[in-house]
Amino acid sequence: MEAAIRLEGLTKYYGRDRGVVGLDLEVLPGEVFGYLGPNGAGKTTTIRLLLDLIRPSSGRALVLGADPRTGGPELRRQVGYLAGDPALYRKMTGRQLLTYLGHLRGLDGLGPAEMLAERLELDLSRPIGDLSRGNRQKVAVVQAFMHSPQLLVLDEPTSGLDPLMQREFYRLVAEAKEQGRTVFLSSHVLSEVERIADRVGIVREGRLVVVEGLEALKAKALRRLEIHFAGPVPREEFAALPGVQDVVVEDGLLTCTAVGSIDRLVKAAARYEVTNVVSHEADLEELFLRYYEGAGDAA
Ligand X SMILES: Nc1ncnc2c1ncn2[C@@H]1O[C@H](COP(=O)(O)OP(=O)(O)OP(=O)(O)O)[C@@H](O)[C@H]1O
- Beta carbon of residue 253, minimum distance to ligand X (angstroms, whole number): 34
Distance from CA of residue 24 to its chain's centroid? 18
Distance from C-alpha of 86 to C-alpha of 161, rounded to nearest angstrom: 14
Contact 9, 59 (CB under 8 A): yes
Out of 11, 44, 78, 99, name the contact with Mg ion by CB under 5 A: 44
Q: Do the strands 32-36 and 151-154 form a parallel or antiparallel pair, or are they unpaired?
A: unpaired
Distance from C-alpha of 31 to C-alpha of 194, rounded to nearest angstrom: 14
**By rule CB under 6 A, what string of x and - marks binding of each residue 122-141 to ligand X?**
--------------------
Judged by CB under 6 A, the stretch of 38-46, 125-133, 144-152, 244-252 that binds ligand X is 38-46
Nearest alpha carbon to residue 187 among 79, 20, 34: 34
- Beta carbon of residue 186, minimum distance to Mg ion (angstroms, whole number): 7
Rule CB under 5 A: say whether 160 interacts with Mg ion.
no
- Beta carbon of residue 134, minimum distance to ligand X (angstroms, whole number): 18
3-state secondary structure of 264: helix
Q: Do the strands 253-259 and 222-229 form a parallel or antiparallel pair, or are they unpaired?
A: antiparallel
Q: Which does 42 bind (CB under 5 to 8 A by kind): ligand X, Mg ion, none?
A: ligand X
Q: Which does 40 bind (CB under 5 to 8 A by kind): ligand X, Mg ion, none?
A: ligand X
**By rule CB under 6 A, what string of x and - marks binding of each residue 70-109 to ligand X?**
--------------x-------------------------
Total H helices, total E strands in the chain: 11, 13
Residues binding ligand X (CB under 6 A): 14, 17, 19, 37, 39-45, 84, 188
Residues binding Mg ion (CB under 5 A): 43-44, 84
